[in-house]
């Protein structure tokens, strides 16, 4: 049984964007996804933020852009009566390929491409954007249109952005840049449950182990072993969030043959055990 729900947003074909301003936010919405982009500003709250396979602590203020169909949720402290969540949702189809191909829109195009992993913005960006985001809920007509584009552009050129979900979770590696890398990634995805040796993968693309190691790290910025471990942990997190399979089963079908090692590796990545993540998700789903 799936654990992640599809949200039907209030965005219609007549809207460029909608603003949802929640005062005294309860953080009782389960992990969900939708085809619209979402800018989420959280104020006066602390808790955990789930974006794809990224499960991290957040504080106030917190500002993230989430791309289409990327699962997400904030699990704040419901005892904080002054917590506020301001959400801007919009349909990216308004921004045509022709528009985004223009030089002036290149940073927005790049921001949209990154958003499927969730983009976290730094405090200095939040300080400059927060008031304007809140003001969007009070604006109408052409002024709101200009205000929205201005916010989006400034987000796109902000520095020190952090991508949240892992590359492996959303399959962001563009295999078109390397047919050999594409074959390797496909092989890893199909054989996660098996004991994968680097020689097997090197042979797959007709390279020596040493040459393959250098090639792979240059292309992915990760060693082969680290990339494979991240892929397995990301897959396990997805199964924990999206299915009712027990933790032991998830451990082994993710390619780990030792439950203790799986728990230790998982906690090192997410700062919580698989069981703690499952408990938190069960809490969310009950609402």
pLDDT(247) > 70: yes
pTM for the model: 0.65
Residue 119: strand, helix, or coil: strand
pLDDT(283) > 50: no
Of the ranges 68-82, 119-133, 235-249, 255-269, the best mean pLDDT one: 119-133
Which domains, from first to last, does the chain contain?
Answer: 5-165 (2.60.120.280), 172-285 (1.10.10.60)
Q: What's the pLDDT at 58?
A: 94
Percentage of the chain beyond pLDDT 70 is 90
Task: Compare 203 and 268 and report the one with higher pLDDT.
Answer: 203
Strands 84-90 and 17-23: antiparallel
Q: What's the pLDDT at 20?
A: 86
67 — phi, psi (to 5°)?
Answer: -85, 175
Q: What's the pLDDT at 67?
A: 94
Q: What share of the chain is helix, strand, coil (3-state, %, to 5)?
A: 50, 15, 35
216 phi-psi bin (left φ>0, alpha ψ -120 to 50, beta other): alpha
Q: What's the pLDDT at 2?
A: 46
Q: What's the pLDDT at 1?
A: 32
Q: What's the pLDDT at 101?
A: 86
- On average, the pLDDT of the chain sits at 84
**Tokens (6 digits) for 195:** 């004991």
Is residue 154 within a helix (H) or strand (E), and if so which, with residue range? helix 141-156
Buried b (16+ CB within 10 A) or exposed e, 1-21: eebbeebebebeeeeebbbeb
pLDDT(149) > 70: yes
Residue 30: strand, helix, or coil: coil
Q: What's the pLDDT at 162?
A: 95
Q: CA triplet 96, 97, 98: central angle to 5 degrees?
A: 90
Q: What's the pLDDT at 81?
A: 66
36-57 pLDDT, tens per residue?
999 999 999 999 999 988 889 9
pLDDT(18) > 50: yes
Span between the terminal Cα atoms of the chain, in Å: 16
75-118 pLDDT, tens per residue?
876 556 688 899 999 988 888 888 888 888 899 999 999 999 99
152-181 pLDDT, tens per residue?
999 999 999 999 998 767 644 444 446 788
- What distance in Å separates the CA atoms of residue 143 and residue 148, rounded to the nearest whole number? 9
Neighbour-count burial of 207, counting CB atoms closer than 10 A to its CB (0-12 exposed, 13-18 middle, 19+ buried):
middle
Instruction: Identify any residues that bridge with 19 across adjacent strands, giving them in sequence order.
Output: 88
Q: What 8-state DSSP symbol labels residue 36?
A: S
């Amino acid at each position: 049984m799936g654990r992640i729900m599809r949200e039907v947003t209030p965005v219609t074909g007549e809207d460029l964007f909608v603003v949802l301003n929640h005062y005294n936010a309860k953080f009782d919405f389960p992990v969900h996804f939708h085809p619209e982009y979402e800018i989420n500003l959280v104020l006066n709250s602390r808790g955990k933020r789930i974006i794809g396979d990224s499960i991290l602590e957040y504080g106030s203020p917190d500002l993230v852009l989430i791309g289409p169909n990327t699962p997400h949720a904030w699990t704040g402290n419901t005892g904080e009566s002054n917590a506020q969540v301001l959400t801007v949702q919009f349909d990216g189809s308004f921004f045509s390929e022709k528009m985004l191909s223009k030089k002036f829109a290149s940073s927005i195009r790049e921001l949209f491409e990154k958003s499927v992993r969730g983009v976290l913005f730094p405090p200095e960006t939040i300080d400059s954007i927060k008031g304007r985001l809140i003001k969007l809920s009070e604006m109408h007509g052409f002024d709101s249109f200009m205000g929205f584009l201005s916010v989006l552009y400034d987000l796109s050129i902000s520095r020190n952005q952090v991508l949240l979900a892992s590359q492996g979770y959303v399959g962001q590696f563009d295999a078109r840049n390397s047919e050999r890398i594409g074959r390797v990634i496909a092989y890893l995805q199909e054989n996660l449950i098996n004991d994968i040796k680097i020689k097997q993968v090197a042979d797959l693309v007709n390279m020596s182990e040493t040459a393959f190691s250098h090639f792979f790290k240059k292309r992915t910025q990760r060693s082969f072993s680290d990339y494979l471990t991240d892929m397995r942990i990301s897959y396990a997190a997805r199964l924990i969030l999206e299915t009712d399979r027990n933790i032991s089963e998830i451990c082994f079908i993710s390619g780990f043959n030792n439950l203790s090692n799986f728990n230790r590796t998982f906690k090192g990545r997410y700062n919580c055990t698989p069981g703690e993540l499952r408990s938190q998700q069960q809490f969310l789903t009950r609402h």
